[in-house]
Amino acid sequence: MANHRGGGGYNHSRNHPSTSRIRKSFFLSVTLYVTLVFALSIFIFMLYSNDIVQDERKMPLLRVEDHKSDKLLDDQLWRAPSSHGLRPCVKPTSKYGATAVWDRYITVRSNGGLNQMRTGIADMVAVARIMNATLVIPQLDKRSFWQDSSTFSDVFDELHFITYLQQDVRIVKELPKEIESLPRARKHFTSWSGVIHVAKSDSRLANNDLPLDIQRLRCRALYHALHFSPSIESLGKKLVKRLKSRAERYIALHLRYEKDMLSFTGCTYGLTEAESEELRVMRENTNHWKIKNINSTEQRIDGLCPLTPKEVGIFLQALGYPPSTLIYIAAGEIYSGDTHLSELTSRFPNIVSKEMLATKEELRTFSGHASQTAALDYIISVESDVFVPSHSGNMARTVEGHRRFLGHRKTITPDRKGLVQLFDKVEAGLLQVSSLSQHVKKLHEKRYGAPRRRAGAPSGIKGRARLRLEESFYQNPYPECICTGR
């Protein structure tokens, strides 16, 4: 967006009489530091109003909303955190040996959504390496919630996957005919007879205490070997280009306000009775969701609910994003569509979905394949200037990790528990709307995706529970795959 105009405004407002008058009186009473901060905000205000005036003169109706923020404000909203010289490092160490080709095979059925599959596959590459086994191209689960019939090569670039990893693991398209009929050892890795079949790939490998070379292999597998299929990559890139032509920068919002998630988490805040009931029935009828009785109020207070479209709108507004901000919605179908989405679009009208960016023709081959449309969302989210997930989940975690890996691109992780408290205080009249922004900003000072080591389990927790509570490897592959050296 026209930065040159912001630059023009800079010189202009400096000499403005009212600025210097206010500055003068201010110098008398307060310290230099406060003065500077104050002058800065005046200065930003002048720029801002100056631009509005200019805009109104030139385009009386159309451009009023299109606020041109100056460089400083811009930086605060869009600048990525400093990487402190950190870079991706995925090369094997000098101890890493050649692929041991043994006559053992691992077959895998990958389950879950796209990102569960991707991280699961990367883990299976590591398992095959540890076991000196040949990996058979994984089968993608077709029975999951998403009912997607895509095969591996529909979603991923199979040839690239095989050749990229040839120094690490032998990968074949299918089991050799002569051993098809051999009995397969299922799940257990200790005693087996030639072929292991892994029935599920979403049981995560440990995050920590694995050899460095295995951790780096997981990163090579996920970030370098598992490319999406050429047709997905090409459309994904096209859509990113179209977004960049609409605005200089965009936010990718993973708005996880989809029916399955709301039903699974039992979060019904802001929904009607009928909607809540529909979600309850769905949960009741989904066998593999173990927890049936959920108190929505408690879930929300504990920070376990996805932010609603309205909450996301208030959140982004409080962080200072202007209404003109271009926001790409990376998600499937939003629950109850426009009814809830409108509470976000009323604050940010410049919201686009893939259906708005791509032609029907372009989307035709993807529709009905949840993992392929999710792949488009993934690409657009990784390439965005700012990524904001409304809920923590596999997609949110994997995109965050990938962005860290690529140079700590800005990811704003909402503190859902803290936000809900603030929103409820405003609602109850215990907090002024005007001071909400300040509180929200404070709450998120350390949640912009700046470099930090992967978090371990909270102290005091022992045994296997630790593993589940650690931050996931793919959410933050620092320090193993991000370092200052190579």
Ligand X SMILES: *[C@@H]1O[C@H](CO)[C@@H](O)[C@H](O)[C@H]1NC(C)=O
Binding site for ligand X (CB under 6 A): 100, 131-132, 295, 297-298
Minimum distance from residue 194 beta carbon to ligand X (Å): 13
Measured from the CB atom, is 301 or 363 closer to ligand X? 301
Largest CA distance in the chain: 90
Q: How far is the CB of 173 from ligand X (least distance, A)?
A: 23
Nearer to ligand X, 218 or 402 (CB): 218
For ligand X, the closer CB: 131 or 316: 131
Rounded to a whole number of angstroms, the minimum distance from the CB of residue 307 to ligand X is 19
CB-wise, 54 or 132, nearer to ligand X? Answer: 132
Minimum CB separation of residue 270 from ligand X in Å reads 16
**Rounded Cα gap, residues 383 and 250, in angstroms:** 10
Shortest Å distance, C-beta 85 to ligand X: 36
- Nearest distance, CB of residue 297 and ligand X, angstroms: 4
Which C-beta is closer to ligand X: that of 124 or that of 482? 124
Pick between residue 73 and residue 301 the one whose CB is nearest to ligand X: 301
Identify which of residues 19 and 132 has a Cβ nearer to ligand X in the complex.
132
- Shortest approach of ligand X to residue 435 CB, angstroms? 26
Dist. CA 234–CA 301, nearest whole Å = 42
Q: What's the chain look like in SS3?
A: CCHHHHHHHHHHHHCCHHHHHHHHHHHHHCCHHHHHHHHHHHHHHHHHHHHHHHHHHHCCCCCCCCCCCCHHHHHHHHCCCCCCCCEECCCCCCCCCCCCCCCCEEEEEECCCHHHHHHHHHHHHHHHHHCCCEEECCEECCCCCCCCCCCHHHHECHHHHHHHCCCCCCEECCCCHHHCCCCEEECCCCCCCCEEEECCCCCCCCCCCCCHHHHHHHHHHHHHHCCECHHHHHHHHHHHHHHHHHCCCEEEEECCCCHHHHHHHCCCCCCCHHHHHHHHHHHHHCCCCCCCCCCHHHHHHCCCCCCCHHHHHHHHHHHCCCCCCEEEECCCCCCCCHHHHHHHHCCCCCEECHHHHCCHHHHHCCCCCHHHHHHHHHHHHHCCCEEEECCCCHHHHHHHHHHHHCCCCEECCCCHHHHHHHHHHHHCCCCCHHHHHHHHHHHCCCCCCCCCCCCCCCCCCCCHHHHHHCCCHHHCCCCCCEECCC
Minimum separation from the CB atom of position 40 to ligand X (A): 44
Nearer to ligand X, 295 or 484 (CB): 295
Min. distance of Cβ 131 from ligand X in angstroms? 5
Cβ at position 301, least distance to ligand X in Å: 7
Nearest residue (CB) to ligand X, 104 versus 118 = 104
Which residue, 121 or 169, is less far from ligand X as judged by CB? 169
In angstroms, rounded to a whole number, what is the distance separating the alpha carbons of residues 129 and 309?
A: 44
